[in-house]
Amino acid sequence: MQIQTPDWVKHAVFYQIFPDRFARSKQISDARSKQISDAKNKQPRKRLVQNVNWEDWEAMPTLQGYKGGDLWGIIEQLDYIESLGINAIYFTPIFQSACNHRYHTHDYYQVDPMLGGNQAFKELLDAAHSRNIKIVLDGVFNHSSRGFFFFHDVLENGPYSPWVNWFKIEGWPLAPYTGDVPANYGSWAGNRALPEFNHDNPEVREYIMEIAEYWIEFGIDGWRLDVPFEIKTPGFWQEFRDRVKAINPEAYIVGEVWGDSREWLDGTQFDGVMNYLFAGAAIAFAAGDRVVLEQVQSRDYQPYPPLFAAEYAAKIQDLLALYPWEIQLTQLNLLASHDTARLMTIAGGDKESVKLATLLLMTFPGAPSVYYGDEVGLPGGIDPDSRRGFPLESAWDKEILDTHNKLITLRHQYLCLRIGNYRTLYAQGELYVFARTLKNDLGNEELLIAVNAGTAFAKATFDIDSLDCQLEKLVYGDGEIEWNQEGEIKNISLNVPPRSGCIFGVKN
């Protein structure tokens, strides 16, 4: 079977936004907004929920508090997002809910009023698309919430509810709020706030499929699927893919699966997964023994123990061998997310670790994803600390931002960084060297990337017969390269400063 994945994802740089924490609209007062006309299209712009006492934006986030970020605010920040070189946004859930992260869905057809409702989302979608920025939404289809109408009806009417078989009811009465007696229904991870759907019920299955179709027809560019491995019903995700792709063959379907994902990446289900296997290895190599263990030990990925270059190379080769190449090119690669501590905090505040890991991310096959704020050095421990408000510009780390700007620019500039082959050239001690190469009708495009995770200069000389071009132009970072050839044998000598990386290309 020929595997087909969305071509645009191969050229995308994603930005992950937690909507409550990215931006409050400056055009709408938190407490006294009436109707404000947008200068562009004269449509009334308003906050649908008024007179709310938000948490202080810069205060440490709490598990249940809201900071009041909204979709209008994101629209106002599209210039900034575009300036980073971002051309795709993945939103954590935006549908109506009774929690700040919105994984407790009340209504799958309504964007949360606190975010601006469906009107704000339509304007955001149009504004993003006008800038060639794709929009991917979070689909929470394993479970709903206690406030979901169908489950609420079961709570009110017990066995008489017409929706009883939509959920995994085990007995009566149901106990949705107290832990003193059995819940009597299946819930995700035992959390009574999250009743699980009965996906074996054809009505539930059809309901979820129609939600997926509705928002694809609305104009979104794909779905990120929350805990899809929890849905065991045979053929469910195959049907999901068929129905979504029938509307938009280029829609992106990416699953939240933290480990070996071959079961879902056979070409009949997902186009990719959130690539935590890459994240763990990249952090373990770039940050090494700087990793703060209490920030990672409770997570389902492995950014520890520290990796030397040869160990990192082995993990990367194993990862690249797991899936077909067409799938590798549409993996969603990341270093942090709303479910992890932020990289700056994981690395104990070490900026060089962040820069090295970002270099590995932006030069790896698949679509890189930046968690909002990481590009300006925002710290944050495990949830809820990792979900801080986006910082004021005065608090930005301009060095980290400059690193992101340069590397994203290079990724867009060089096609080989997006779809070229990946080949390890040298991996000893703490020096890791690899090449991204692409041969096409226009000629060869090749880059050599070297990463020195050690605290001393790394020097190495090795044969390099696999490269066609003499790569002598330093296009990123600091380092020295010397090419030598004796007969048919070519080798290079590299000298890379400590805790740094560099990229070499062809001289003009």
Q: Supply the residues annotated as catalytic.
A: 226, 256
Residue 31 and residue 348: Cα distance in Å, rounded? 39
**How many angstroms separate the CA atoms of 240 and 207, rounded?**
11
Retrieve residue 373's tokens.
Answer: 């704020």
Structure tokens at 354: 């962040």
List the one residue out of 42, 179, 18 whose CA is nearest residue 102: 18
Q: What single letter denotes the amino acid at residue 150?
A: F
Cα distance between residue 92 and residue 19, in whole Å: 7
Write the Ramachandran bin of 391: left for phi over 0, alpha for psi from -120 to 50, otherwise beta. beta
Pair of tokens at residue 348: 């104990």
Alpha helix stretches (DSSP H) within 115-272: 117-130, 149-157, 202-218, 236-247
Distance CA 20, CA 40 (A): 25
* Angle at alpha carbon of residue 18, lines to 14 and 23, rounded to 5°: 100
User: How many Å apart are CA 213 and CA 201, to the nearest integer?
Assistant: 19
d(CA 176, CA 190): 11
Rounded Cα distance between 133 and 198, Å, is 35
In this structure, are residues 358 and 335 in contact, taking their beta carbons and an 8 Å threshold?
A: yes
Instruction: Report the chain's terminal Cα–Cα distance, integer Å.
Output: 42
DSSP percent split of the chain into helix, strand, coil, nearest 5: 35, 25, 45
C-alpha 279/C-alpha 508 separation (Å) is 34
The full length of the chain comes to: 508
Residue carrying the six token digits 């061998």: 321
Supply 261's token pair: 């994902």
User: Strands 222-225, 134-139: parallel, antiparallel or unpaired by DSSP?
Assistant: parallel
